[in-house]
Amino acid sequence: MTITATAPTVDIERDKINSIVFASSIGTIIEWYDFLIYATAAALVFNKAFFPTFDPLAGTLAALGSYAVGFVARPLGAALFGHYGDRLGRKSMLVLTLFIMGLSTFCIGLLPTYASIGILAPILLIVLRVIQGIGLGGEWGGASLMVLEHAPIDRRGFYTSFVQIGFPIGLVLATLVFSLVTKLSDADVQAYGWRIPFLISILLLAIGTFVRSRVPETPVFEGLKMRDGLSSNPFGEAIGKNTKSFLIAVGLKLSEVSWVYMLTVFVVVYATTRLGLSKPMMLNAVLYAALLELITLPLFGWLSDKIGRRPLFIVGALFTIVFAFPLFWMLESKSAAVVFIAMMLAMNFGHGLMFASESAYFPELFGPRVRYSGATFGFQLSAAIGGGFAPIVATAMAGYIGGTTGVSIMLVVLGLITLTAALAARETVGGSLTE
């Protein structure tokens, strides 16, 4: 009787966590798809469509600058939605952030270009980019906490890694769509082709909103609310009373996020404009590297449950330090096979090894009263610093100084910062989420 009564409960719990993982992951896929099509468009199209009065390099920097504005907005979204996520609950923030992100992306696809309305075009682009960044700034924390606070204690790393899979899937979708777009003539891409990835995001938004509206609130938050344990100022408490954990989260994220956006933004620009490699080839290299992460991210998440989150960050940071120079040497070979191998290694070990466990590790560093605020703001502040500005600094150095030595040195320094944070961090595997 005991076995018979227990088995259905186990199946129900498994079905429940699987549905929550799916809902969180599909929203994150949409969020990253939206964000990454902008990154690709900024690298390949927006310099001509919205900043045509600049010389080519300055136009590229201006386009990447509009891309960086979204990163600057992300900490604002993290602070805003983190506060309400700790005060009102995780679920309500999931749907709201998704809606903000998706709608702003769709509107970018409708924007007139500089040729039609002049200076108003880049202004409107930047405004929508800010709104997009605010939405993404709060999304990751809500998705991560929904899974983490429902997951079994011994499988948190594995289940939350599927939230992180939203990044490579979103990247794959964005790259596939832009690969199809680039099959058009350059004139057609500039005229209308670049709009297609933005406009079709409205379909993904509808699916994501429906799925996320059906998930339950987390038991950790419900228990906190029943005990009257909610913080009146979670953001201030997360930063002021948990300063060490907050700084560690920023440091842990810095190298990984710089690395991945260098690969998806700077490397694409550098390889196509300075090395003469074809756009389709570079987009395919990014695509295959991201496809491999569909396997490695759950593997690394599972591994973090076995050996801990901290060791993965230490090894990942060491890899970024060691591979910062070989990455560009391999690109300069101009061999398709060597370029593809370089991108796969860089994406999966310089990014995936650390990224896989972040949805578990960062929230576990904070108590339940401030978990949304602390984890999200630390994550997004580091993303703004590393992801938003690293491609711009690298593009400027490669364009005005020449070569990639300075870029590699920058990556080494960022890797050392993350290594220091990992060595200072505490291990969180098996810890309580209610204390």
For residue 392, is pLDDT > 80?
no
- Measured between alpha carbons, how far is 133 from 140 in angstroms, rounded to an integer? 12
79: enclosing H helix or E strand:
helix 56-87
Of 11-25, 100-114, 143-157, 200-214, the one with minimum mean pLDDT is 11-25
Residues 6+ apart with CB under 8 A from 125: 46, 50, 66, 108, 111
- Provide CATH code, domain 2-424: 1.20.1250.20
Q: What is the mean pLDDT of residues 139-161?
A: 93
Mean pLDDT for 224-250 is 92
> Predicted confidence band at 166 (pLDDT cuts at 50, 70, 90)?
confident
Lowest mean pLDDT among 44-58, 62-76, 383-397: 44-58
- pLDDT for position 203: 86
The pLDDT-based confidence of 223 (bands split at 50, 70, 90) is: very high
Which pLDDT score is estimated for 15?
Answer: 72
pLDDT at 40 over 80: no
Give the three-class secondary structure for 275: coil
Indicate the angle between helix axes 166-181 and 2-44, nearest 10 degrees. Answer: 40
- Residue spans of the domains in the chain: they are 2-424
Residue range 203-210: average pLDDT?
Answer: 83
Q: How far apart are CA 415 and CA 61, in angstroms?
A: 24
CA atoms within 13 A on the CB side of 153: 8
SS3 for 248?
helix
- Separation of alpha carbons 334 and 277, rounded Å: 7
Q: Decide if pLDDT at 365 tops 90.
A: yes
| pLDDT at position 193 | 86
Average pLDDT for 233-250: 93
Per-residue pLDDT band for 11 (boundaries 50, 70, 90) equals very low
Most confident of 114-128, 279-293, 388-402: 279-293
Cα–Cα distance, 39 to 67 (Å, whole number): 6
Is it the case that residue 9 has pLDDT exceeding 50?
A: no
Could you tell me the pLDDT band of residue 55, with boundaries at 50, 70 and 90? low
Within 13 Å, how many C-alpha atoms sit on residue 174's CB side?
26
358 vs 23, higher pLDDT: 358
Tell me what the mean pLDDT of segment 394-417 comes to: 84
Q: How far is CA 79 from CA 67, 196, 232, 324, in A?
A: 20, 32, 14, 32
pLDDT greater than 50 at residue 349? yes
Query: Which residues have a Cβ under 8 Å from the Cβ of 315 and sit 6 or more positions away?
Result: 353
pLDDT of residue 12: 40
Looking at residue 129, its pLDDT comes to 85
Q: Which of 178, 319, 320 is nearest to 258 (CA)?
A: 320
pLDDT at 348: 96
Angle, alpha carbons 435-231-19 (nearest 5°): 65
Q: Residue 4: is its pLDDT beyond 50?
A: no
Which three-class secondary structure string do you get for 341-358? Answer: HHHHHHHHHHHHHHHCCH
Average pLDDT in the chain: 86
Secondary structure class of 335 (helix, strand, coil): coil
Q: How confident is the model at residue 289 (pLDDT cuts 50, 70, 90)?
A: very high
Q: Which residue blocks in 88-213 are alpha helix, DSSP H? A: 90-108, 114-117, 120-148, 156-164, 166-181, 186-191, 196-199, 201-212
Question: What is residue 233's predicted lDDT score, i.e. its pLDDT?
Answer: 93
Residue 180: CB atoms within 10 Å: 12
Whether residue 62 is predicted with pLDDT greater than 70 in this model: the reply is no
CA atoms within 13 A on the CB side of 261: 31
Cβ atoms 330, 341 nearer than 8 A: yes
User: Whole-angstrom Cα distance, residue 356 to residue 365?
Assistant: 16
Burial class (CB in 10 A: 0-12, 13-18, 19+), 37: buried
pLDDT grade for 7, boundaries at 50, 70 and 90: very low
Which residues are CB-neighbours of 405 under 8 A, at least 6 positions away? none
263: closest CA among 278, 279, 276, 282? Answer: 282
Q: Quick one: pLDDT band at residue 8, thresholds 50, 70, 90? A: very low
State yes or no: pLDDT of 1 exceeds 50. no
Over range 1-24, report the average pLDDT: 60
Q: What is the pLDDT of residue 368?
A: 92
Rounded-to-integer distance, Cα 145 and Cα 112, Å: 38
Q: Which is nearest to 377 in space by CA: 170, 236, 221, 255?
A: 236
Burial of 420 (0-12, 13-18, 19+ CB in 10 A): middle
| Highest-scoring range by mean pLDDT, 14-23, 279-288, 367-376 | 367-376
